[in-house]
Amino acid sequence: MFMKEALAKFILKKVKASDEELALILSYFKPLAVKKKEILLREGGLANKMFFIVKGCLRIYFVKDVGTEVTRRIIFENDASASMVSFITQKPSNEYIEAVMNSELLYMDRKDFYYLVDTVPAWEKFYRFQLEYAYVVNTNRLMSFITNDATERYLSLLKENPEIVKRLSNRLVANYLNITQEGLSRLKSKL
């Protein structure tokens, strides 16, 4: 139950739920410990889990050309995520989910997730807020690849997501910005 305290807080920050509703929701989450570099979902697989990060970090990325990884999203503690397009459509995922470091997760199976959406109003509302949030974060992220240059992306990263720069390797920061490590060094030296 201790692991679920942070999750309960995360949910109650977004919606009101009775003790009963909350206990029911939490009862569907199961613990999962993953090792650094462990892959939780591969391109072509079906996204059938929603993850909450108790400790550690997950990275969601897609492969642009043979071998070129582009990081779509990095999630630290006290946040939840899935490969949403595949989770919603149940078509094969275009993305990978990887543990950036040893991590402790809680996850809910997709069928339980939608069962709760249909039966627990607080969870339906929670999902709606999560969808709105995911829409905004993901659109802004993908638009930044199309409309911003690397320096603009780096400056907005420092402002909106400094934890990525503080906690992750230069390799991953560069990958998040979709530039090489040399490009990142040059960019920093010019600022």
Verify binding: residue 155, a copy of itself, rule CB under 8 A.
Answer: no
Residue at 115: amino acid letter: Y
CA distances from 156 to 81, 85, 159, 162, 165 (A): 21, 25, 5, 9, 11
- Tell me the C-alpha distance between 144 and 146, whole Å: 5
Residues 158 and 135: beta-carbon distance below 8 Å:
no
Dist CA 18 CA 149 (whole Å): 47
Residues 72-111: x where in contact with a copy of itself by CB under 8 A, - otherwise, as a string: ------------xx--xx----x-----------------
Assign 44 to helix, strand or coil: coil
Closest contact distance (angstroms) between CB of 88 and a copy of itself is 5
135 is an interface residue for a copy of itself by CB under 8 A: yes
Q: Could you say whether residue 180 binds a copy of itself (CB under 8 A)? A: no
| Contact status: 16 vs a copy of itself (CB under 8 A) | no
Q: What is the rounded CA–CA span in Å between residue 180 and residue 50?
A: 31
Contact 15, 125 (CB under 8 A): yes
Q: Is 143 in the site for a copy of itself (CB under 8 A)?
A: yes
In the numeric block, which tokens belong to residue 153?
């992306």
140 binds a copy of itself (CB under 8 A): yes
3-state secondary structure of 88: helix
Report the residue from 146, 159, 190, 191 that binds a copy of itself according to the rule CB under 8 A.
Answer: 146
Give the footprint of a copy of itself on residues 45-64 (CB under 8 A). 62, 64
Indicate the residue among 34 and 122 with the shorter CB distance to a copy of itself.
122
The site for a copy of itself, by CB under 8 A, has a size of 26
Task: Indicate which single residue of 31, 42, 145, 188 sits in contact with a copy of itself (rule: CB under 8 A).
Answer: 145
Structure tokens at 16: 């009101």
User: In terms of CB distance, is 127 or 176 closer to a copy of itself?
Assistant: 127
- The contact set with a copy of itself (CB under 8 A) reads 62, 64, 70, 84-85, 88-89, 94, 117, 124-125, 127-128, 131-132, 134-136, 138-140, 142-143, 145-147
